[in-house]
A and B are shown apart, each in its own frame.
Chain A
């Protein structure tokens, strides 16, 4: 080769010389670090993604926090039917006239009573404008209400109490009310851990799912498969870049909720971090699994919604999952978002130690382990 004539010999020598320098690996370039860096950059350079992960949960917390803010409890709305038989307002034996009843009821600060015709009263009850209809009857009163509506049951109790007092009932023991509104028991306190959980699920699944499927769609996965890159590095880089964002995601919502709504983390912040980490890994695994086969964004979107929608509904993000019937409970408990939400609530609202959430955390770890393993097997590079 070397004796092959002038020009070639020079270039071969140049190549050899270059070869000697090449053997020095560029040490700072760890593929896992580079892959994670690139993932992170790609995410940060996608303004929409940043909005959905960081801004959207805050807007949601704001909207829900305002909608369900703790105000003085609403008054029980009561309709009193005008009596047709007797001449209106006069006391008749063991009962009160309509106006008199209304006056008696309105003396209570927690009732708003109004006199109306029976027709109007029936309509008001049907459309939910009043919670209870009071009608005089022979020798007493008649209450009409829908027992499946909690506010109707409340109205019945409150109105009955006022009427009984007006009719002369006396309390048998003295009662003193002490009113407390404690942070930790409000709706917003319930909501914030749920939002953090939902956000961890959403950003984990969308973040991974979209990026992987897009890379497959653009034949970038195939190109990477042609390099000596370790395939586990690629998948791990997604896990790691999730960790970076996780910190910001959780901190953003926690700080926001604390500043705006006074929602405090009662438990240890380290425990909160551990729970968030385990939760994020579960959804990163699930995201990889969902993204392991689809070739198009449309395909993966459908799968994502299929996986996430049941959890939005069942896993107690916006309302307690205890509302679902008992036979569904084992299934609901096994969902990763339920496990995450419950653990987050335990540490944020109750200040409970990790041991309380041990089962839930094991469920999460199992989800992340199993889905990552299955994803590795199913994963299509082209």
Chain B
């Protein structure tokens, strides 16, 4: 049990059902900018201790949603409850003590060193890690005296996360923490987030990397055009495709794609440039049939790959682009 949660638990008068307590909850959340509805009636509940992912393309409303939850942007409508409290009810200061925030676009002061930056952020919180501890957590020990301006992208991002972790928060908000990072830097950041989760912290993460959501998140909400279009564990969402495998193939010679939809075990077909992509529920039945169809169309198979369906495929199917592309 994390110290910050004690109060919330006591308020609930039910010490045995800690897992049912929502760290964060919002309902019918809306936010409009002029004519654009950035957030369009979102209901979310992030459970205590879970890592929750908001998934979606750029402009889906992820950042606006997160900033409303962080108390940085006022909502036009709807309710927000963070650790059982609402913003603007006179407890904002106490609430902020318990949240750790990393914003998508923040550039920390270039002229300060890593240590100075962490020390500054540490000074805002009444409790939390020591400066040394948090620098250790994000593995920036060697860079502690380096100026922020001299850090690599991955190191800067780790420092940003360090500033969010410095209070050992109850809820950690990460807005696209790995966008623009190379795979190695991304792995390192994932490790930090996983470590935080293991110590019992709640994380709300936005990303447009499906792989990141699959690896880190207990549950994800897929967002598009300001709405949540799917919600569940990564496994549930993938299952909802009713597909085991995605088959992608290229051929020499044009293929008529519509005939593939009628094949046994094929649930959907789409064609993008020269690649034919099939969502397949029964690979055993589908593979011989589709090879037969290629031969029937007198085309020559150039390449064929299959992979387990991923959140990427879920996203493509959910946003309707599969139908349009097909």
- Please choose the segment from A13-21, A245-253, A282-290, A311-319 that sits at the chain B interface, where 4 or more of its residues have CB less than 8 A away: A13-21
CB-defined interface of B84-107 with A at 8 Å, one 1/0 digit per residue? 000000000110110101010111
A14 and B199 form a contact (CB under 8 A) = yes
Given contacts A11-B198, A228-B97, A228-B125, contact A222 B103 (CB under 8 A): yes
Which A residue sits closest to B200, measured CB to CB?
A15
| Interface size band for B | 35 or more
Partner of B70, one of A23, A26, A35, A226: A226
Q: Does A181 contact B (CB under 8 A)?
A: no
Give Cα A371 to B120, complex, Å: 27
By secondary structure, the B interface counts as: loop
A12 and B1 form a contact (CB under 8 A) = yes
Given contacts A15-B199, A34-B119, contact A1 B18 (CB under 8 A): yes
B96 and A22 form a contact (CB under 8 A) = no
Partner of B3, one of A22, A220, A229: A22
- Please choose the segment from B127-135, B222-230, B263-271 that sits at the chain A interface, where 4 or more of its residues have CB less than 8 A away: B127-135
- Tell me which residues from 260 to 319 in chain B have a Cβ below 8 Å from any Cβ of chain A: none
CB-defined interface of B11-34 with A at 8 Å, one 1/0 digit per residue? 000000011000000000000000
Give Cα A8 to B197, complex, Å: 11
Set of chain A residues within 8 Å of B107, measured between Cβ atoms: 218-220
Give Cα A227 to B93, complex, Å: 8
Q: Does B36 contact A (CB under 8 A)?
A: no
A22 and B93 form a contact (CB under 8 A) = no
Set of chain B residues within 8 Å of A19, measured between Cβ atoms: 2-3, 168
Given contacts A227-B96, A228-B96, contact A18 B168 (CB under 8 A): yes
Give Cα A179 to B96, complex, Å: 73
B111 and A45 form a contact (CB under 8 A) = yes
- Tell me which residues from 195 to 209 in chain B have a Cβ below 8 Å from any Cβ of chain A: 198-200
Minimum CB–CB distance from A77 to chain B (whole Å) comes to 56
B106 and A29 form a contact (CB under 8 A) = no
Partner of A220, one of B72, B108, B123: B108
Which B residue sits closest to A25, measured CB to CB?
B126
Q: Does B323 contact A (CB under 8 A)?
A: no
Set of chain B residues within 8 Å of A382, measured between Cβ atoms: 72
A23 and B3 form a contact (CB under 8 A) = yes
B122 and A29 form a contact (CB under 8 A) = yes
- Which of A1, A37, A218 is the most central at the interface, judged by chain B CB atoms within 10 Å of its CB? A1
Partner of A227, one of B18, B109, B121, B199: B121
Give Cα A215 to B112, complex, Å: 13
Q: Does B81 contact A (CB under 8 A)?
A: no
Set of chain A residues within 8 Å of B93, measured between Cβ atoms: 228, 230
Give Cα A12 to B120, complex, Å: 28
Partner of A42, one of B72, B111, B130: B111
Minimum CB–CB distance from B68 to chain A (whole Å) comes to 12
Which A residue sits closest to B126, measured CB to CB?
A25
Q: Does A46 contact B (CB under 8 A)?
A: yes
A226 and B71 form a contact (CB under 8 A) = yes
Partner of B129, one of A22, A30, A46, A220: A22
Set of chain A residues within 8 Å of B103, measured between Cβ atoms: 219, 222-223, 226
- Which of A14, A33, A228 is the most central at the interface, judged by chain B CB atoms within 10 Å of its CB? A228
B111 and A226 form a contact (CB under 8 A) = no
Which A residue sits closest to B125, measured CB to CB?
A228
Set of chain A residues within 8 Å of B199, measured between Cβ atoms: 11-12, 14-15, 18
Give Cα A30 to B19, complex, Å: 36
Give Cα A29 to B128, complex, Å: 12
By secondary structure, the A interface counts as: helix
Minimum CB–CB distance from A44 to chain B (whole Å) comes to 9
- Tell me which residues from 31 to 51 in chain A have a Cβ below 8 Å from any Cβ of chain B: 31, 33-35, 37-38, 41-42, 45-46
Q: Does A322 contact B (CB under 8 A)?
A: no
Give Cα A251 to B74, complex, Å: 48
Set of chain A residues within 8 Å of B108, measured between Cβ atoms: 220, 223
B168 and A34 form a contact (CB under 8 A) = no
Partner of A41, one of B106, B112, B127: B112
Set of chain B residues within 8 Å of A24, measured between Cβ atoms: 127
Q: Does A185 contact B (CB under 8 A)?
A: no
B106 and A227 form a contact (CB under 8 A) = no
B130 and A26 form a contact (CB under 8 A) = yes
Given contacts A38-B112, A219-B106, contact A228 B124 (CB under 8 A): yes
Q: Does B218 contact A (CB under 8 A)?
A: no
Q: Does A225 contact B (CB under 8 A)?
A: yes
A31 and B168 form a contact (CB under 8 A) = no
Set of chain B residues within 8 Å of A1, measured between Cβ atoms: 1, 18-19
Q: Does B116 contact A (CB under 8 A)?
A: yes
Minimum CB–CB distance from A233 to chain B (whole Å) comes to 9
Set of chain B residues within 8 Å of A15, measured between Cβ atoms: 1-2, 199-200
Given contacts A19-B3, A38-B120, contact A227 B125 (CB under 8 A): yes
Minimum CB–CB distance from A291 to chain B (whole Å) comes to 16
Partner of A12, one of B122, B127, B130, B200: B200
Give Cα A357 to B122, complex, Å: 44
Minimum CB–CB distance from B91 to chain A (whole Å) comes to 11
Set of chain A residues within 8 Å of B125, measured between Cβ atoms: 227-228
Binding site for B on A (CB under 8 A): 1-2, 8, 11-12, 14-16, 18-19, 22-26, 29-31, 33-35, 37-38, 41-42, 45-46, 215, 218-220, 222-223, 225-230, 382
Q: Top 6 A-B pairs ranked by shortest CB distance?
A: A29-B123, A228-B96, A34-B123, A218-B107, A226-B101, A19-B3
29 interchain pairs, CB-CB under 8 A: A1-B19, A11-B199, A11-B200, A12-B199, A15-B199, A16-B1, A22-B127, A24-B127, A25-B126, A26-B122, A29-B122, A31-B124, A33-B123, A34-B120, A34-B123, A42-B109, A42-B111, A45-B111, A219-B103, A219-B106, A219-B107, A220-B108, A220-B109, A222-B103, A222-B106, A223-B163, A226-B71, A226-B99, A228-B93
Q: With contacts A26-B122, A33-B123, A222-B72 known, what are 5 further pairs, Cβ within 8 A? A: A8-B198, A16-B1, A22-B168, A29-B122, A219-B107
